Structure 1
Amino acid sequence: MVYIRDKITKATCGGFLVREDFVMTAAHCKQSHLMVYLGVNDTNSLPDGIEVDPISHPGFSMRKPGHDIMLLKLKTPATLNENVSTIALNEKISKYCMIMGWGWQAYDHVSPSNVLKEACVTLIDSENCGTADTLCTEGSTRPGKGDSGGPLVCGGVAQGIVSLYQNNKNGGYLTLYTHISHYLSWIHDIMKSP
């Protein structure tokens, strides 16, 4: 997990390290002065941050859903160790997944968690989900405010990016994740650029 914070507005998101020099997150997390913090468990004691150059997917728009994916090019590559490592991207998907982040644990809480939290979720069938580039879970176990950009990890592999939440037809909650495998060619093109 990577803790992402704008150094001026203090707005936060989650992300994950996909290579020593790239973090993946949601495009709607883009701010003007983003910093990433690696190896964080408790946000009360942050290590030195790393400045980044954000690269949003060209199809993303705040006015409509879809293409909610962004790569952050680290200006100083990460040093990998027991607390900082990359996560693989893969097209094969498992139905049983895990989400994590520092977001609000409930909507009536006044502040986010300082400690990294995780929860187990199960993917639902894609026909009940929305667009082809989206994965979904439903139910009260879900990411909270401040968890945007964090990974949906299925079978030890990053399969999705926390994107948005909405009420479903049954009055419950539907969480949408950007399906990473739909963007692998774009990701590889950006990451191989000089």
Structure 2
Amino acid sequence: MNICGFILLLLHSCTLGDGMDHGIVGGHVSVPHSRPYMVYIYNPTTHSNCDGFLVREDFVMTAAHCKGSNLKVYLGVNDTTLLPTGIEVDSFPHKSFENKPGNDIMLLKLKTPATLSKTVTIIDLPNPWNNKILKDCLVMGWGWTTYVYYSPSKVLRELNVTLKDLTNCFEPDVICNDDPFGPSKGDSGGPLVCGGIAQGIVSFNIKRSGGYITGYTRISHHLLWIYNVMSKANKADKVNI
């Protein structure tokens, strides 16, 4: 099976971002601004969107397949029909990402750092010395409410998920979870939050009998890369990021 055939969230009809719009399948509406680290990402060139999450006042984390040349991020969002002023960013996708599972991670440096408040906060990343992931987690986003039909939800939705198997799938930095409900198109780049810590990034899903397998990029596998990008992005020299 080719890459277009089974990675449903990464590529929609083999065109990145095509049809991606504002939900989580089987989820419920989040309490407004209860997930203040969530970030709405919009590409005005392709008219597509992804999700992300604030990890530092000047950095948003998302999926590498959400990359684009004119991305804007929106902080403190609940309803996407009421977007605040967008912030321009510099994009740093992982240099080894190849539109398939693995290395699907990107950092966006905000040209105007966020002002933290009750509706805009940072979420913690995992520590390298404590790599254990709790199995009771939360996933959220502005994606479709079904896997198949265009079904936009303008407000943030979320779903409690229980990770059944933490073993690697496809690549060492991918967590897979088999569940009838979960992220759909438009949820790419959102966080997998376990114990209040961002442990994964929504990357793809695979249709199978009885449901879908969702793949998340495991953040702890990329901590050195993350801190290297953050350090170099603040300097003139951006070579080999």
What TM-score do the two structures reach when normalised by structure 2? Answer: 0.76
Q: Which residue of 2 aligns with 1:87?
A: 123
In the alignment, structure 2 segments of 5+ residues that lack a partner are 1-37, 235-241
Q: Which runs of structure 2 are paired with 1:48-87 in the superposition (5 Å)?
A: 48-62=85-99, 64-87=100-123
Aligned residue type for 1:6? N
Counterpart in the other structure of 1:148: 188
- The CA deviation at 1:113 is 1.1
Give the match for residue 117 of structure 1: 157
Query: What is the SS of the residue equivalent to 1:114?
Result: coil
- State yes or no: 1:19 paired with 2:56: yes
Q: Describe how 1:93-132 pairs up with structure 2 within 5 A.
A: 93-127=133-167, 129-132=169-172
- By how many angstroms is 1:10 displaced? 1.6
**More deviation, 175-184/88-97:** 88-97
Deviation at 1:93, TM superposition (A): 1.5
Pick which of 115-124 and 151-160 moved more: 115-124
Q: In 1, Cα distance between the equivalents of 2:134 and 2:166? A: 13
| CA apart distance, 1:23 | 0.2
How far apart are residue 111 of structure 1 and its match? 4.1
2:68 is matched by which residue type in structure 1?
Q
SS at structure 2 position matched to 1:124: coil
CA contact (8 A) 2:168 2:175 kept: no
Q: In 2 relative to 1, CA 167–108 (structure 1 residues): closer, same or farther, beyond 3 Å?
A: closer
Aligned-pair distance for 1:144?
A: 1.1
2:74 corresponds to 1:34 = no
Structure-2 separation of matches of 1:127 and 1:76: 39
Q: Could you say what secondary structure the match of 2:167 adopts?
A: helix
Do 2:39 and 2:73's aligned partners in 1 also have CA atoms closer than 8 Å?
yes
Distance 2:69 2:82 in 1: 23
- 1:105-131 deviation digits (Å, cap 9, x = unpaired): 013442421000000111122337332
Across the aligned residues of Structure 1 and Structure 2, the Cα RMSD in angstroms comes to: 1.4
Q: Call closer, same or farther: CA 1:192–1:167 in 2, change over 3 Å.
A: same
How far off its partner does 1:65 sit?
A: 1.9
**1:178 is aligned to 2:178:** no
**Equivalent residue letter for 1:105:** T
Q: Distance in 2 between matches of 1:128 and 1:2?
A: 27
Q: Which sits farther off after the overlay, 120-129 or 69-78?
A: 120-129
Structure 1 72/188 Cα, relative in aligned 2: closer, same or farther at 3 Å? same
Q: Which residue of 1 aligns with 2:40?
A: 3
Alpha-carbon distance in 2 for matches of 1:127, 1:178: 13
Counterpart Cα distance in 1 of 2:168 and 2:44: 38
Residue aligned with 1:192, SS? helix
Counterpart secondary structure, 1:138: strand
Asked if the contact 2:167/2:176 (under 8 Å) is kept, the reply is no
Residue identity matched to 2:186: G
